[in-house]
Amino acid sequence: MSKNHNDLTPHSNTEATTTNGQMLQLLHILDSAFPIGGYTHSFGMETFIQDEAITNEHELVEYLSSYLTNSVATGDALFVQEAYQRASQSELEQLIELDHRCHAFKITEEARKGSAMMGRQFIKTVTPLHNDAQFEAFRERLKQKQIDGHYPVVFGMYTSLLGVSIDVAVSTFLYSSMNSLITNAVRAIPLGQQAGVRTVHAMFPLISELTKTIQSQTIDDIANNALLIDISSMNHQFLRSRLFIS
């Protein structure tokens, strides 16, 4: 992809201001039609729904607040931030190590497979859009099965390539993680579309708050504080019927 316009040029400065051209490309990868398979994963939420622990809009908001605070913000979002920083410095070997660490951090099989599946599909989809040596080298390691290509790592790399600011990279990852679950919950509970819209809107203050918290942390602060969600992920494969892969 040609990068003749100044607002499409990647920046290594983590304080960079996100421009209009970069924002358009970011919106592209966040679109629900972007084919990475998010609509096929609930990451354990379906177990809660079938156990009737999530039956309405209020319970969904409570679940998502816990999911973002105790799972995504203390795990995947920190991998996004670290991958962004390593990619900005062209530290390929550190990105490889980070992908291995992300794989080890995910203690449930479905979570590991789901993250890697989305990451591989993301790489496949965006590769024709950019000519970037580091991204291509990472993809080559994936082809050689030296890495798993986890989605948070790939997302952090790609947002660094786009040149969006690091806070935008983190907040949009939090948004994407939340929004895909809401879309799936609307189908699975089921809820009306308006309830889904209200739930998305209710999450905005929390996403802003978590983004600020994450910026004060490093990859060494990763923690798993959502054991019940992990247990539901483990039990998901044993459900009698399933709408989602995870």
Average pLDDT value for residue range 127-155: 95
Residue 17: pLDDT band (50, 70, 90) is: low
231 pLDDT above the threshold of 90: yes
- Listed in sequence order, the DSSP H helices in 127-215 are 133-143, 151-162, 166-188, 193-215
Average pLDDT value for residue range 22-45: 88
The rounded distance, in Å, linking the Cα atoms of 144 and 156 is: 21
221 pLDDT above the threshold of 80: yes
The rounded distance, in Å, linking the Cα atoms of 209 and 217 is: 13
Return mean pLDDT, the chain.
Answer: 91
135 pLDDT above the threshold of 50: yes
pLDDT for residue 35: 87
Predicted confidence (pLDDT) per residue in 160-188, tens digit: 999 999 999 999 999 999 999 999 999 99
Query: Which one is predicted more confidently, 127 or 101?
Result: 101
Statement: the pTM of the whole predicted model exceeds 0.95: no
Do residues 119 and 135 make contact, with C-beta atoms less than 8 angstroms apart? no
Predicted confidence (pLDDT) per residue in 63-120, tens digit: 999 999 999 999 999 999 999 999 999 999 999 999 999 999 999 999 999 999 999 9
Burial label for 23, CB within 10 Å (0-12, 13-18, 19+), is: middle
Token representation of residue 233:
């992920």
Residue 50: pLDDT band (50, 70, 90) is: very high
What is the dihedral sign for C-alpha 69, 16, 88, 143? positive
Query: Which one is predicted more confidently, 225 or 144?
Result: 144
Do residues 159 and 122 make contact, with C-beta atoms less than 8 angstroms apart? no
